[in-house]
Amino acid sequence: MTVNPPDIPGVVISRLPVYARALALLRAEGREVVSSQELGQELGVTPAQIRKDLSYFGRFGKQGRGYNVGLLLDQLRTILGLDREWRLALVGVGRLGQAILGYGGFSPQGFKVVRAFDSDPARIGTAIDHLIVEDVADLEESLRNDPVDIGIVAVPGDYAQEVIDTLVASGVQSILNYAPIVSRVPAGVHLKQIDPVLELQSMTYHLKRLQDQGGQDALSSGKA
C-alpha cells in the first residue's frame, strides 16, 4: 500500500506539518490517544477538515476511538519525509541571514544549513556559525559539485529573482524565499515565500473592519 498518492491539494500538504507538530507536543505530554475534535480545537481547524485531510493518505484511527498519537505522528513524519535529514544552502548572510543561521528551530527538525553564500567581500571567507561563507558568484558551480536539497534566499529584493534562477539552474528543486518579491520558478520547482508583509496585510483587513465597525457603532449610538 502506498501512502504517496499523486494529487493531494497543496493546502492539505501544508496542513500536515501543523498536525505533526501538535501530535509531537501531545506525545511529549504522554498522551496516547487524541480525537479529531480535540486536535481540531487545539489547532483552530474543524474535526471534519482533519479527518478529510488524513483520508488522502489512508485510514488512520478507529471510528469513535480517536487517533493513536504516536502511530499517526510516525506515519505523518514518513509521509512528509521528516524522518530524514535535509541539506540546505543559505544565500545572503546579512542581518536576516544571520538570524536564520542562529534560528534554533531548523536543526532539531532535520534541516541542516550546510552552505552559506554572500556577495559582500567583507563576509566571503569568514566563518559564521561553523560555516565558511562562499562567494555567491560561485553558487551554481559550487552546488553542482556538492548538491543540497533546499535553497534559502535571504538577499535584498533586487537580487532575489537572480539568485532563485541560479539555484534552479544548479538543480535545486525546493526554495524558501525571504525576499519580498513575486518570484517565478519553472514547473516542478517548489517555492515557498516567507513574507511578513503579506501576513500583516491580511490582518489589517480584520483591523480595518473592527475600526470601521467601531466608528459605525459610535455613529449609530449618536443617532439613537
Least distance to a copy of itself, CB of residue 57, Å:
11
Least distance to a copy of itself, CB of residue 116, Å:
15
Decide whether 127 or 197 has the Cβ nearer to a copy of itself: 197
Residue 195 near residue 180, CB atoms below 8 Å:
yes
Nearest to 77 by CA among 132, 38, 128, 27: 27
Least distance to a copy of itself, CB of residue 106, Å:
6
Q: 100: Cβ–Cβ under 8 A, 6 or more apart, which residues? A: 90, 113, 152, 154, 178
Least distance to a copy of itself, CB of residue 121, Å:
21
Residue 161 near residue 169, CB atoms below 8 Å:
no
Please state, in angstroms and rounded to a whole number, the distance separating the CA atoms of residues 47 and 64.
12
Decide whether 83 or 138 has the Cβ nearer to a copy of itself: 83
Decide whether 21 or 51 has the Cβ nearer to a copy of itself: 21
Residue 152 near residue 167, CB atoms below 8 Å:
no
Decide whether 50 or 79 has the Cβ nearer to a copy of itself: 79
Least distance to a copy of itself, CB of residue 65, Å:
24
Could you list the residues that contact a copy of itself (CB under 8 A)?
4, 10-11, 13-14, 16-18, 20-22, 25, 42-43, 79-82, 84, 86, 88, 95-96, 98-100, 102-106, 109, 111, 149-150, 152, 156-157, 173-174, 176, 180, 182, 190, 192, 194, 196-212
Least distance to a copy of itself, CB of residue 36, Å:
16
Per-residue burial over 100-129, b if 16 or more Cβ lie within 10 Å, else e, is: bbeeeeeeeeebebbbbbbbeeebbeeebe
**Distances from the Cα of 180 to the Cα of 11, 159, 193, 218, angstroms:** 22, 11, 8, 38
Decide whether 29 or 64 has the Cβ nearer to a copy of itself: 29
Least distance to a copy of itself, CB of residue 52, Å:
15
Decide whether 63 or 205 has the Cβ nearer to a copy of itself: 205
**Distances from the Cα of 192 to the Cα of 15, 169, 180, 182, 210, angstroms:** 14, 18, 12, 11, 31
Q: 190: Cβ–Cβ under 8 A, 6 or more apart, which residues? A: 173, 174, 175
Decide whether 30 or 105 has the Cβ nearer to a copy of itself: 105
